[in-house]
Chain A
């Protein structure tokens, strides 16, 4: 017998996004299952199915006999319209069952602009949005991922946040929930026990008070909640669970390939980069582990591409061992090896030789800023000479297109720094024409991508004002006036979306009402230009009496209590403040392998960090 919703698929775009049944999807007998977990990615199937974290946790939960994890994505607008018109609630792809029947509804919070989709998905599921309106023990709405480092703008909607890495705490939470379901506990009884688990943040167990100027006065724990919730850290990446199988999608998704994670954390300490701080300390897998996991995934999925995954992959201490290992079998099996995240400065001649053996795609460098002074201020320890010599090396190797990533609106930035972006791009173009062996009849393309800088929690710039949209528009105009070559293509983010991202990144609980109001006004898929409705968002701020500039464009005093400071990511506040001070003096800090700056992250890992030899 067909489910009624199946016929909705007849007129929608890419219906295979909604069918389930992909290779590697987990089917289970409901009678054996004690906890059902709906893992929700609040964006389209194509984006969500590209996400490694979901694949890890999906496989991890489904290793258990007593739990079943299923996938849920935000249906595209045509499908949502049909579902609402026909009274079909949001369902999970494996069983096709409504997620309102599940025990855990888990959202991965990857970026701020997906928050409106979280509310929309809960509503489409028929689940009350606010935690206090869900009085039964289940479904529990939980959240994790990078944005869980400041989940305050979502605090009223979630029962639990899980800051940090999920491999251990997910199983601990499921065990606890099974015990409480069997006892017939209330939601409060369960949450009291859950809050005792390290890495479990129950937002309802904290009272928040504000000063008259709107800044935070105090965050006071109650019930069983700790004063500070420590994020979870996996100590040993060689022994932690990693999937041997991925769900292999039918439709073409953004990253449709096998992925091998090589390490977590980053040694660089670029001051703008949140990922570089919140994933510390550095923990590496051995090259044997990576190679074994990569091979197993290629065998089980049939993928013809394997990608190494980490921040700044060329910083992997065993990269020169790993590449020959991978290349000993991958090309024979017609498998491409791709390294997405390489840095300019340690892009060695021998690495280049290895890379030549795999498919030639575009080369991407991220100088991030146009002048050395500003690169020093943000601690992006790359010099112009390094960029140019690597570009020259790449051009000698036959590459004809180079992508350069920059940011605009960085703290201390001046128009001189903006013009520097155009100048650096021009020098890369010139480098191509200086190459005596340049391929005949081929031109060069230098693509310059300019993102707007958004200050984020747990970075040295967490106190900084974000450039206003007007300032950014002016800088973009100035940049274009300084680009004089047709070989340079410039693209940038919409300053409106960056502004909203900035508001929510450093927001507090007062934004919960704004978010719900914006969602009621039709906001969803805010990360998609075609759906982003800035006017509706501004009306929502107005209706709630909240000034978005308070969050985005205000400089915080070092003495101010920040909305995320009851979460402990290991990084010391004094370290971040010192890095901020150095930024304003354009003084760099050494990377973690050169000299440990005692950021504090290793404290959450028994004092251990792989960057400290």
Chain B
């Protein structure tokens, strides 16, 4: 069957950050069905909607740059798809654009994050994070699998951080950062924060993590 591959860019913000990847897939499937977009179904014994996401977003992270690819089997303009999907989506998930895919998801190399860390002593936290980042290495325990065993192994992520900026706020610290992303060298925001706040003398009460952009090796936007 003939189909056109279409990429849908969307944001997942507010309370939607608590929707797991698996739940998001189910939510999108239903939204696509409600929107009555003519889509390609797999042709197996149990046909289901074809849908693939560039990268799964960790639970608890907000994002302005999510994308999923779907396969269109009829005529429908990108504008129409966007309008219909937005009418069919829950509150905190919004389609920002629909386009023909230009890059493969495997070409994603970097991601930009903006992270708020809330604490009672912003100055002390800022100082501790700066000290960690200023050292030659930034070691962190990364969860890995050896065969079936779960192990923790120490990794240095210093070279995975490309840009780094800290700013002190009344109630905490803002971290703006570009890290490697993608299938090979992905640095999750949780891992990054583990590394930067190790040894911090004050507790981080909670964090807001926002994924702003995903980029290619050459620094251009993934689209």
Contact = CB atoms under 8 A, between A and B. Distances in A.
Question: Does B associate with A?
Answer: yes
Nearest to A299: B34
Given A19-B18, A21-B15, A301 B30 contact: yes
A250 interface: yes
B33 A9 contact: no
Interface string A291-330: 0000000011111100000000000000000000000000
B14 interface: yes
B91 A21 contact: yes
A10 interface: yes
B14 to A, nearest CB: 7
B20 A16 contact: yes
Contacts of A139: none
B57 interface: no
Contacts of A397: none
Contacts of B33: 302, 304, 333
A250 B206 contact: no
Interface residues of A, number: 27
B29 A302 contact: yes
A163 interface: no
A437 to B, nearest CB: 21
B201 interface: no
A21 B23 contact: no
Contacts of A15: 18, 59-60
Interface in B18-45: 18-20, 22-24, 26-27, 29-34, 41
Given A15-B18, A21-B91, A21-B92, A250 B47 contact: no
Contacts of B19: 16, 19, 250
A7 B90 contact: no
A334 B23 CA distance: 20
Contacts of A252: 22-23, 26
B99 interface: no
Among the interface residues B18, B30, B33, B34, which one has the most CB atoms of the partner chain A within 10 A? B18
A321 to B, nearest CB: 27
B161 interface: no
Interface string B190-223: 0000000000000001110000000000000000
A10 B207 CA distance: 9
A248 B30 contact: yes
A250 B14 contact: no
Interface string B67-97: 0000000000000000000001111100000
A165 interface: no
A108 to B, nearest CB: 24
Nearest to B89: A23
B34 A301 contact: yes
A359 B47 CA distance: 11
B175 interface: no
Given A7-B205, A15-B59, A302-B88, A23 B15 contact: no
Contacts, number: 68
A10 B41 contact: no
Interface in A1-40: 6-7, 9-10, 14-16, 18-23, 27
Nearest to B22: A252
Contact of B16 (A21, A300, A304): A21
A598 B14 CA distance: 58
B15 A19 contact: yes
B163 to A, nearest CB: 26
Interface in A165-203: none
A545 to B, nearest CB: 47
Nearest to B23: A250
A7 B206 contact: yes
A565 to B, nearest CB: 47
Contacts of A14: 20
Contacts of A27: 91
A20 B90 CA distance: 10
Contact of B30 (A20, A21, A23): A23
Contacts of B60: 9-10, 15
A6 B15 contact: yes
A352 interface: no
Contacts of A16: 18-20, 23
B59 A21 contact: no
B45 to A, nearest CB: 10
A240 interface: no
A473 interface: no
Given A16-B23, A250-B19, A252-B26, A21 B34 contact: no
Contacts of B88: 23, 302
B149 to A, nearest CB: 24
Nearest to B18: A15
Contacts of B18: 9, 15-16, 18-19
Contacts of A250: 19, 23-24, 26-27, 90
A304 B15 CA distance: 25
A19 B90 CA distance: 12
A251 interface: yes
Contact of B90 (A6, A18, A23, A299): A23
A302 B85 CA distance: 12
Nearest to A8: B206
Contacts of B20: 14, 16, 251
Contacts of A300: 34
Given A250-B27, A251-B23, A252-B26, 5 more contacts: A9-B60, A19-B15, A23-B30, A23-B31, A252-B23
26 contacts: A7-B205, A7-B206, A10-B206, A15-B59, A16-B20, A18-B18, A19-B15, A19-B16, A19-B19, A21-B15, A22-B90, A23-B31, A248-B27, A248-B90, A250-B19, A250-B24, A251-B20, A252-B23, A299-B34, A300-B34, A301-B34, A302-B30, A302-B32, A302-B33, A302-B34, A333-B33
The 6 A-B residue pairs with the shortest CB-CB distance in the complex, in nearest-first order: A302-B30, A15-B18, A19-B15, A302-B33, A302-B34, A7-B206
Interface of A: 6-7, 9-10, 14-16, 18-23, 27, 248, 250-252, 299-304, 333-334, 359
Interface of B: 14-16, 18-20, 22-24, 26-27, 29-34, 41, 46-47, 59-60, 88-92, 205-207
